[in-house]
């Protein structure tokens, strides 16, 4: 039997924390569920899920969909597209079977790349390797989740770069239905000896193909669309993330009209320790001033009223009404008062 290998290469950087990652998690589960109702797909499609943040990881090794179990998605710090691609190529090299005299080869593999931001490292070498060794032997579809993805960069990988407007739960549903339909049509077309890949028809506003001739490159190593701060719960010692989304608000300063950048709280989310595993090992000294942030959450792990206490070690943790707090990062003990005015805190790469 010939397998149709489908790879999902998914950005799990901190900016994906919360609803996006949850939607991707549910979306992939529904994709598989839907494919199981299609007899072609059920018998031919093999799926693998690779995630990447600062580090890449194979979340689901290539397997037939009947044994697929929806995984829990971790989040990590950073968006190393180069490591994500590198890991994808490593997996392809190890798993894709080419037809020879002695061996039954696979159908041409299909890769869906989902990313919501800008790589936090230089991806050119990995992109060149992709172009040289894999562009013709795999079909890659890059989907940008959000407005400020570096589509010019993605355009070097494939001519199929799509923009997904993730406005609400319904749009996620439409998006994953489109992915499912694309896989279904291609599992039929491979059956029919066609070597090409057919994307399902795009309908509505949710998903659109990007005109790559107009795309502009974006070069930055911190994803500026979001500010994500990493804290640790004093009670449970678990890490959590606080996510803020950029808003540009007009403001008046000393009688002069300015537009000021501000970040509004999206939410706080508990993450597990794989967060550190998937983080970039290099340290980035980027900070954000608390004056730019609007809204402070409670601790998502233990419910402590303040999730935003900054220790002398510069790290963030939660505090309750205890007199003496112990920093879960450095174990320093101390009591906290409320800071006056803004101060700088370290942010993650996003």
Task: Name which of residues 217 to 276 contact other proteins (CB under 8 A).
Answer: 235-236
Residue 299 sits in the site that holds Zn ion (CB under 5 A): yes
CA 5 to chain CA centroid, nearest Å:
21
Residue 67 sits in the site that holds other proteins (CB under 8 A): yes
Residue 94 sits in the site that holds other proteins (CB under 8 A): no
Residue 37 sits in the site that holds other proteins (CB under 8 A): yes
Binding test (CB under 8 A) with other proteins, winner from 194, 208, 289, 305: 194
CA distances from 234 to 140, 210, 237, 326 (A): 44, 45, 5, 7
Residue 2 near which of Zn ion, other proteins, none (CB within 5-8 Å, type-dependent): other proteins
**Contact between 4 and 37 (Cβ < 8 Å):** no
Residue 311 near which of Zn ion, other proteins, none (CB within 5-8 Å, type-dependent): Zn ion
Residue 132 sits in the site that holds other proteins (CB under 8 A): no
264 vs 62: CA distance, rounded Å: 39
55 vs 77: CA distance, rounded Å: 8
Residue 153 sits in the site that holds Zn ion (CB under 5 A): no
Residue 43 near which of other proteins, Zn ion, none (CB within 5-8 Å, type-dependent): other proteins
Strand stretches in 4-73, DSSP E: 4-11, 45-52, 56-64
Name the minimum Å distance from CB 98 to other proteins: 5
- Give the binding range for other proteins (CB under 8 A) out of 42-50, 78-86, 201-209, 214-222: 42-50
Residue 325 sits in the site that holds Zn ion (CB under 5 A): no
319 vs 340: CA distance, rounded Å: 17
Residue 42 sits in the site that holds other proteins (CB under 8 A): yes
Indicate the pairing of strand 161-164 with strand 207-209: antiparallel
Name the minimum Å distance from CB 265 to other proteins: 24
Both structure tokens of 69: 């179990």
To the nearest 5 percent, what fractions of the chain are helix, strand and coil? Answer: 25, 30, 45
By rule CB under 8 A, what count of residues binds other proteins? Answer: 44
Residue 190 sits in the site that holds other proteins (CB under 8 A): yes
Q: Kindly write out the interface string for residues 43-62 of this chain, putting x where it contacts other proteins by CB under 8 A and - elsewhere.
A: xx------------------
Indicate the pairing of strand 45-52 with strand 56-64: antiparallel
227 vs 229: CA distance, rounded Å: 7
> What are the phi and psi torsion angles at 281 (to 5°)?
-80, -20
Residue 338 sits in the site that holds other proteins (CB under 8 A): no
Residue 254 near which of Zn ion, other proteins, none (CB within 5-8 Å, type-dependent): none
Task: Name which of residues 25 to 84 contact Zn ion (CB under 5 A).
Answer: none
Question: Residue written as tokens 């804290």?
Answer: 231
Residue 311 sits in the site that holds Zn ion (CB under 5 A): yes
Binding test (CB under 8 A) with other proteins, winner from 11, 91, 106, 280: 106
Sign of CA dihedral 120, 126, 128, 133: negative
Residue 230 pairs in a beta bridge with: 241
Q: What is the binding site for other proteins (CB under 8 A)?
A: 1-3, 33, 36-40, 42-44, 66-72, 98-108, 137, 188-196, 235-236, 323-324
């Amino acid at each position: 039997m010939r397998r149709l290998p489908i790879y999902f290469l998914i950005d799990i950087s901190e900016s994906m924390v919360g609803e996006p990652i949850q939607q991707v998690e549910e979306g992939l589960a529904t994709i598989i569920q839907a494919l199981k109702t299609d007899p072609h797909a059920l018998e031919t499609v093999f799926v693998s899920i690779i995630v990447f943040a600062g580090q890449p990881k194979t979340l689901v090794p290539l397997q037939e969909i009947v044994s697929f179990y929806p995984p829990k998605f971790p989040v990590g710090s950073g968006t190393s597209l180069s490591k994500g691609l590198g890991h994808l190529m490593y997996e392809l090299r190890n798993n894709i079977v080419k037809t020879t005299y002695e061996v039954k080869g696979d159908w041409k593999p299909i890769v869906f790349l989902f990313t919501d931001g800008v790589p936090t490292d230089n991806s050119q070498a990995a992109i060149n390797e992709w172009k040289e060794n894999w562009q013709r032997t795999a079909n890659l579809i890059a989907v940008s989740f959000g407005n400020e993805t570096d589509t010019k960069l993605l355009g070097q990988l494939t001519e199929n770069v799509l923009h997904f407007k993730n406005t609400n739960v319904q749009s996620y549903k439409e998006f994953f239905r489109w992915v499912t339909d694309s896989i279904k049509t291609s599992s039929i077309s491979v059956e029919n000896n066609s070597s090409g890949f057919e994307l399902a028809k795009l309908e509505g506003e949710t998903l659109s193909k990007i005109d790559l001739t107009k795309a502009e490159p974006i070069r930055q190593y911190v994803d500026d669309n979001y500010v994500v701060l990493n804290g640790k719960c004093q009670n449970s010692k678990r890490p959590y993330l606080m996510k803020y989304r950029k808003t540009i608000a007009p403001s008046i300063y000393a009688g002069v009209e300015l537009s000021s950048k501000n970040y509004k709280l999206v939410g706080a989310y508990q993450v597990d320790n794989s967060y550190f595993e998937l983080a970039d090992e290099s340290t980035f000294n980027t900070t954000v001033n608390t004056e730019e942030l609007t809204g402070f959450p409670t601790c998502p792990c233990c419910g402590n009223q303040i999730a935003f206490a900054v220790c002398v070690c510069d790290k963030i943790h939660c505090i309750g009404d205890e007199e003496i707090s112990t920093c879960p990062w450095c174990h320093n003990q101390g009591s906290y008062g409320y800071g006056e005015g803004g101060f700088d805190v370290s942010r993650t790469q996003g």
